[in-house]
Structure 1
């Protein structure tokens, strides 16, 4: 069977893209390995109608709604190889064989490479975060830290005083210049230059190499990201450099630089939130459908 579209990635962007195609009565295959980027977080925020809901619940509801359409098939597997063919594309999976489609939507997501600080990974998504809009409000204007990973952490440090009393831990990564220091002072940000030894405590207390411990209610950091899948590279898609890593280059319809291949979600936008992923999925699904019509 040749599907109208294969969607690789069944999280928020992929589900949203699939819904547009399913409602156009197109034959759709979703291939998903079940590794959502936000699987470490207990709640999701900022998505209208689902604010405060568990991420897994949102994804499960989305899948149930998509699978109610009879033209959709779901395969739980990892897509490991993609190639262009005369009539479209072929996707080979780890366990389920190969599948063919006229169009391909990559909603493959990214992997967060976290700072190598003891105790941080265990708290990721629970008391260590990357998005103030997703998790800042719940800290109840408490004590917030920013663990620098590059000079771009200035952006975090200048934003977060709207959510609580903020301390920037430069951790030897960069030294704010005079202008940056003045900006931080205007926002009421405390700058801590001592090296960070570990993240400890019930929440995200920062233990410094000099023996001091700075108690916090939450910590924010900007991890580097990398593609969670090799498919875009295998197909020859071009990438853009974002503030945290590469992302797939797309146009207005979310078509990549390879005709017939569309991309959406965190793999194709230099930002990460459920609401943005859902919106971008709509654009990719509509773009893929209209390309089937227009040729």
Structure 2
């Protein structure tokens, strides 16, 4: 039995992948989307900050995007996990977990990221409902209430500095970070309360219990998770990685091309910080770049 052939395979069917595939579909290219069904924001009930979709369920935005994409006759969709990708002279062979294989001239990796939270009881259970990572996505709905920032490293200082625009902030250092004098001065000017006692657990909506048994009732808690690529395909293909403050992600140029000719990456997998709006923009660029490379050819290696 022959291998199915496509112009471009998009791995990942969330916002970035859908956006990339839409550009390619509108160029009447044969596109396959392979989706494992694990949107990063699946824990959040609603999405905010995306023009025209503010306040909608993230699942509904993705479902609408898929329904619109599948109206294009050159698009195919496969539910499943892409486990291997190999580059050949004539393109890329992608193998799925069921053992089937497909082939394309170009790849777009929209594989997303996985979040690793501190191992504090009650934290993971509230991820996306009252424990968040993005102030722009979730801060406004806290109605200028009581907000906590749980430090995971030096970059948490930026979190604590920003969040007073959304409420009254307590910065839980939790032994993960100690601000210097200049940083403390700036935090004080922003009205941030510093709490050095270790965090024991999170309960209720976002009540933080400390090791000295004090309980601070909050409306929301922000934490910068450690990020891990949700798929090893980029590294298996030899794509260069970028080291960010929260983890490693795929390095791309302005056209979302990776270091491997013919492979493009978009969305959270290829940027330091993400949101639905960023993912859609990245995906559009990756789809356009992949299409133009089919027309004009790939750049010649130096």
How high is the TM-score relative to the length of structure 1? Answer: 0.99
1:241-280 equivalent positions in 2, closer than 5 A: 241-280=243-282
Residues 47-81 of structure 1 deviation map (CA, whole Å, 9 limit, x = unaligned): 00000000000000000000010000000000000
Q: How far did 1:174 drift?
A: 1.5
Q: How far did 1:175 drift?
A: 1.5
Q: Partners in 1 of 2:99 and 2:79 — Cα distance?
A: 9
Partner of 1:133: 136
Instruction: Select which of 25, 35, 39 maps to 2:38.
Output: 35
Q: Partners in 2 of 1:217 and 1:255 — Cα distance?
A: 41
Task: Could you tell me which runs of 5 or more consecutive residues in structure 2 were left unpaired when the two chains were aligned.
Answer: 298-302
Residues 226-264 of structure 1 deviation map (CA, whole Å, 9 limit, x = unaligned): 110010011000011112111101112111000000000
Q: Partners in 2 of 1:175 and 1:60 — Cα distance?
A: 43
Task: Could you tell me which runs of 5 or more consecutive residues in structure 1 were left unpaired when the two chains were aligned.
Answer: none
Instruction: Select which of 114, 118, 140 maps to 1:111.
Output: 114
Q: How far did 1:5 drift?
A: 0.2
Please give the secondary structure, in 1, of the residue aligned with 2:274: coil
Partner of 2:125: 122
Q: Partners in 1 of 2:67 and 2:231 — Cα distance?
A: 25
1:18-97 equivalent positions in 2, closer than 5 A: 18-95=21-98, 97=100
Alignment check: 8 A CA contact 1:44 1:51 kept: yes
Partner of 1:211: 213
1:84-233 equivalent positions in 2, closer than 5 A: 84-95=87-98, 97-201=100-204, 203-233=205-235
Q: Partners in 2 of 1:273 and 1:51 — Cα distance?
A: 12
Q: Partners in 2 of 1:115 and 1:272 — Cα distance?
A: 20
Q: How far did 1:92 drift?
A: 0.3
Superposed structure 1 runs of 4+ greater than 4 Å apart: none
Q: How far did 1:96 drift?
A: 5.5
Matched residues, number: 294
Alignment check: 8 A CA contact 1:22 1:28 kept: yes
Q: How far did 1:178 drift?
A: 1.0
Q: Partners in 2 of 1:135 and 1:253 — Cα distance?
A: 29
Please give the secondary structure, in 2, of the residue aligned with 1:39: helix
Please give the secondary structure, in 1, of the residue aligned with 2:20: helix
Please give the secondary structure, in 1, of the residue aligned with 2:160: helix
RMSD: 0.6
Alignment check: 8 A CA contact 1:77 1:96 kept: no
